[in-house]
Structure 1
Amino acid sequence: MSNKEKHKKEEQEKAQQETAQQPADDQLEQLKKEKDDLFLQLQRVSADYSNFQKRVPRQIEERVAYEKEQVIKALLPVLDNFEHAVEKGKTAETPQALLDGVKIVYEQMLSILKQFGVEQITALGENFDPSMHQAIMQRTDTDKKDNIILEDFSKGYKLNGRVVRPSRVAVNKAAAAQTEAKEAAKPSPDGQADDSIDETVDTQ
């Protein structure tokens, strides 16, 4: 084989190698481009998340401040009416006139609380419910059912259905009192009713 033919063959082999290498180079270039695009997207997502972390606490703080402002604005008219009631009370001809003014302010206050999702818990005459009522006293009224609330010392309130303060109440324990009375009336071992307690009281 002459040098010319040998050189020509080498040129052909080189061209074939370059042709075979081209698709691999193109694929590598495409992968690099995709990698760069993904990296840019990741940077944007990271920046957005960082801004989100900074923005959310500020938004919460602003929202809380706004809600406080709305509550205060709603309560200011009630305060105004209290002041008016106090002033009128100084010149009221009868206690009833002052009482009527206070009742109006009280109803206004309840109406405003209702606008914010606050409602009173019904207690008086209801069955005792430990999830809404706090028993601070027990009484006995045999004319009423056991476990009925006899007195509501301080109103309970719920906010959007959730108890924020239970009602402080007195609960009827008629059944317990009747049981104690029956036990006290049972005959003693000698066949007589046990009246030792009464005798003790009488001797003092």
Structure 2
Amino acid sequence: MGDQDKETIVSDEEETIEKIEPEDIEVEHSDNNENDHAEELAELRKELESLREEKEAALERSLRLQAEYENFKKRTEKEKSAAQKYKSQDLANELLPALDNFERALKVEVNDDNRNLIEGITMVYSQLEEALKAQGIEKMETLNEQFDPNLHHAVMQVEDEEKDSNTIVEELQAGYMLKDRVIRPAMVKVNK
């Protein structure tokens, strides 16, 4: 039954109950005396009032349950959306050490003996980076940026007159973000 049908039934019942006024209730006259009629009428009025209160309480419970259900649905959708948005974080955390090792391997001096090996490592490294980018995981740019404790982890400080204060002068380990979330802060050297 749709919400509109429920509202129609509830409003019809309200109209019916509201139309019945205690004064409108007819009591059959019998040989009983007037006190019996007054007691009967008072009892019927109490019963009517009790029914009105029950109806109001049921309506209030129904509305409260409906609101709780709507809140539950919204909360569940929000959690599902967040889980979907950041689903690749665990995989990224597992792959980042391998990427670091690839970067170290690529820093080796290239000569005729290792040229082909370095080219192969470069290709695999590029494929891994592209796969991570496709999942929304990207390396942070840090050199010459202002130090931000939310994005960077300062492990050293240096004094360089040519650089501005609080500027990153060297990246020791790359930092990565998954969409708008930092999954690993960059380890950097900062100018004092």
* TM-score category, normalised to shorter length: 0.3 to 0.5
TM-score by length of 2: 0.48
Q: Which has the higher contact order (CA 8 A, sep 6+)?
A: 2
Larger radius of gyration: 1
TM-score by length of 1: 0.46
